Amino acid sequence: MTTPLEHLSRNGRLDRFFIGGEWREPRGTTKGVVVNPATEDAVTRFPLGNGEDVDAAVSAARRAFATWSRTKPQYRAGLLDRLQALLEARRELLAQCLTLEMGAAIGYARTAQVPLAIAHVKTARDVLTAFPFVEQRGHTAVTREPIGVCALITPWNWPLYQITAKVAPALAAGCTVVLKPSELSPLDALLFAEAIEEAGFPAGVFNLVQGDGSGVGAGLASHADVDMISITGSTRAGVAVAQAAAPTIKHVAQELGGKSPNVFLPDADLDRAVSLGIAAGFRNLGQSCSAPTRMIVPRGLLSEIESIAKRAADEIVLGDPLAETTTHGAIANRAQFDRIQTMIGVGISEGAKLVIGGQGRPGGLNVGLYVKPTIFSEVRTGMRIAQEEIFGPVLCIIPYDTLEEAVTIANDTVYGLGAHVQGRDTNVVKQVASQIRAGQVHLNYPAWDPHAPFGGFKQSGNGREYGIEGMLEYLEVKSILGYF
């Protein structure tokens, strides 16, 4: 099979940006490096854009908006159908790409990273075909119209997934876009741009500029011809984007950090709840902003929960991301690897009980950015490991004495992105869920729902993605009085 690098090199994509329907040479001369986290080897170099590249992409999107924004929903839905089919045809190539550039185990890339990303395209298409762009309210028509040129900044941890979660609803709404993917995982965006081109989207509707935050991200956020910017990233990056966007009064949507609680009620099915809680907390090696990494449990059940959690963590198979038996691969980049190691050391120094894991690489893995799955218990909510987003396979077990205290602990964070509640009494489960300040709450590990709006309270951001709310972010509301 052709590798992602072979495919992109053969087609001349590695040193190009996709602007105005063409693969163009960048104006900037700075280069970025793609590092395979499983080997720590640099595998390719690629261009980083500058202000001229940003201007060119925004201009192309602005020109295209005049006609694209007035296309019929059925036309846009047809193009999304074609995009979905083309991504389906590239599933293995995309999975191999994600494994190469961010270390995801190939099995996880095939079963989660890629198919869930494609699901966002289908969801946007389904929302579009049933969306009421005009509603009657007495004699007034309330219309929803595309907001304009949208700059989309996506992260390195779920690269393709976040691209489709933003691009698909923006295009469905009738907006034109400029995408800046993370410079730490840029290759899948090139494959996505190829699919956009082959699907037949008009020139300028979708534009891709690679770059870092200071060179491209800040330029997009402050650009006078960008009407909206959507960012998924750290809270620090979200603040910087909002500050840069403020002088031009553009709409800003932010999906930022998290420190999600997983509240266990006294009647929870522990074998199921703890095992699935470890799986959820360590999915994508904990590199998920909504990962439930605070397990809040009844104090009297602490010992039993520790035993089940350790057993579940022992079943994780770390190793070569390309091996079929590997369940968890390498941490996506060196900076994150170092951050995780530091925070594990913090947990030990704070006096938390180390149930499993610890600092250093796992045995037998001396090369590559591999981290031991680590569980701390007897954690107090004031500890740094209970408050700071670690973004790795590190989970805290925090005991409580009363249900009121459990809710207080769950809300004792500057974040409010996701949350979980486990218990057999559904009435109590729902009551607890209603008291948690988070944008999305999961009860007893339900199936993922691409139509469920996703976004945060507090410092986890604002705005929503997925489903109908995801498309509403890209629409302006207009009232036309006397229309009816």
From CA 431, how far away is CA 416, in angstroms rounded? Answer: 17
Catalytically annotated residue among 194, 289, 389, 396: 289
Residues contacting 219, CB < 8 A, separation 6+: 50, 51, 54
Question: Is 324 annotated as catalytic?
Answer: no
Tokens of 177: 């876009």
Question: Following DSSP, what letter does each residue of 208-233 receive, concatenated?
Answer: E----IIIIIHHHHH-TT--EEEEES
Catalytically annotated residue among 101, 183, 194, 255: 255
From CA 29, how far away is CA 3, in angstroms rounded? Answer: 26
Pairing of strands 294-298, 228-232: unpaired
CB atoms inside a 10 Å sphere around CB 426: 10
Q: Let me know: does 262 contact 419? Beta carbons within 8 Å.
A: yes
From CA 389, how far away is CA 157, in angstroms rounded? Answer: 14
Name beta bridge partners: 376.
354, 396
Name beta bridge partners: 149.
176
Residues contacting 423, CB < 8 A, separation 6+: 264, 265, 266, 267, 268, 429, 432, 444
Question: Is 289 annotated as catalytic?
Answer: yes
Q: How many CA atoms lie within 13 A of 82 on its CB side?
A: 13
CB atoms inside a 10 Å sphere around CB 434: 10
HEC per residue, 125-187: HHHHHCCCCEEEECCEEEEEEECCEEEEECCCCCHHHHHHHHHHHHHHHCCEEEEECCCCCCH
From CA 444, how far away is CA 242, in angstroms rounded? Answer: 35
Burial of 135 (0-12, 13-18, 19+ CB in 10 A): exposed
From CA 220, how far away is CA 226, in angstroms rounded? Answer: 7
Active site residues: 255, 289
